[in-house]
Amino acid sequence: MRYRYTAIILCIVITLLELVYWFSLDFKFKVDLSWTDIISESFILLFNIVLIVVILRARLSDLVFWPLFLGFVLLFFSGVPDLIDEITQIDSLFLSAQENIGYILGMLMMTLGFYLWGEEYRLANHRLLQSEKKYKQLSITDSLTGLYNSGYFFNVLSSEIALARRYQLSLSLIVMDIDDFKSHNDRYGHIEGDKVIAAMGHEIKAVLREIDKPFRYGGEEFVILLPRTNLYTTYTIAERIRKAVLAIEFEPKPGEVVKKSVSIGVAELTEEDLPQLLVARADAAMYLAKRQGKNRVVSLTSEEHMQIA
C-alpha cells in the first residue's frame, strides 16, 4: 500500500536518531547484568516489532493505519530506555521522558486506532447487511410493479396459513386479472401493456393496508394475501381496487383514451384448506367473475366452490 514505504522510512529515521543520540552520551556498561531482565525487555521490544510488521502488512485504511502504526512505534521506543537501563549506567532526562511520554502517547494512539478500526468494521458490516437486504428484496420483488413476485408467493402463503391456524385468525386471498389484456397488448404493443401492469401495481399498493401482501402472480394476474381479514372485509377491499383501476385513464395513442377493468375473485381460508386449495378457490371465483361479464368481484365459499367444480 502507498503508506508502507513512508512508514518504514519513518521507523528507520527514528531508529538512526535514537542510535546517534545514545552513542553521543557518556555511558558505561554494567558489570553485573541481569540477563532475565535483559531477555524480558528484549522480548517485549521484539514483540512490538512483530506487531509493527503485522500492521504494515494488514489491509487497513489510512485512517486506521496511522494511529495504530504510530502507537506501536511509540510503545517500541518507550521500551528502549528500559533495555538501555539494564545494560548501561546512564543518566539521561531525555531517555526518561522518552519512556514516560512515549508510553502515554503510544497507548493513546493505539486506543484511537483500535476504536477507528472497530468503527470501520461496524460500518462495513452495516453496509453488508444493507446490501444483503437490498438484494434479498430485489430477489423477491417484481421490477415492473414493485410488488412481490410469484416465486415468493407460496413461501409467504404457507407461513401466513400456519400463523392464522396457530392463533385462530382469519386469512383471505384476492386473485385478480386484467380484463381483455391480450387484445390491448396486441393492439398497442408490449410497452403500453407494461404501462397498464405498472399502473395496476401502483393502485393495488395505494388501496391496501400495511399488513396486506400483494404479488404479481404472472403476466396480467395479481394475488393479494390479507391476514386477519374475513371474507366480507376482503370483498370490500377488492371493490375499492376494482373502482380505483376503473378510474385510471390510459392514452396508448395520442387522443385515444382507454380504460381497463379487472375481474376479481376472493376466498377465505377454512380449517380444511391446503395452500393450493385456497388459491384454487379464489382463482375459480375470478374466472366466475369473467364469465359473469368481467369488471366485478366474486367471492366463493368452500361449499360454493365444490358445487361449481
What is the model's pTM? 0.65
pLDDT tens-digit profile, the chain (309 residues): 556 667 677 767 777 676 666 666 666 666 676 777 777 777 877 888 888 888 888 888 888 888 888 888 888 877 777 766 666 666 666 667 777 787 889 899 889 999 999 999 999 899 988 888 888 777 889 999 999 999 899 999 999 999 999 999 999 999 999 999 999 999 999 999 999 999 999 999 999 999 999 999 988 999 999 999 999 999 999 999 999 999 999 999 998 999 999 999 999 999 888 899 999 999 999 999 999 999 999 998 766 666 665
Looking at the fold, whether 87 and 187 belong to one and the same domain comes out as no
- Please give the span between the terminal C-alpha atoms of the chain, in angstroms, as a whole number: 72
Domain presence at residue 141: no
Domain presence at residue 63: yes
Looking at the fold, whether 11 and 153 belong to one and the same domain comes out as no
Identified catalytic residue from 86, 99, 220, 221: 220
256 in catalytic set: no
Q: For the chain, what is the domain count? A: 2
Q: 124: burial class by Cβ within 10 Å (0-12, 13-18, 19+)?
A: exposed
Under DSSP, is residue 258 helix (H, G, I), strand (E, B) or coil? strand
Looking at the fold, whether 125 and 85 belong to one and the same domain comes out as yes
Give the integer Cα–Cα distance in Å for 270 and 277: 10
CB atoms near residue 131 (< 10 Å):
10
Looking at the fold, whether 177 and 304 belong to one and the same domain comes out as yes
Tell me the DSSP string of 149-166.
Answer: EHHHHHHHHHHHHHHHHH
Domain span at residue 210?
148-308
Question: Which residue, 136, 170, 198, sits at the end of a domain?
Answer: 136
Looking at the fold, whether 119 and 234 belong to one and the same domain comes out as no
Domain presence at residue 143: no
Check if the beta carbon of residue 243 is closer than 8 Å to that of residue 159.
no
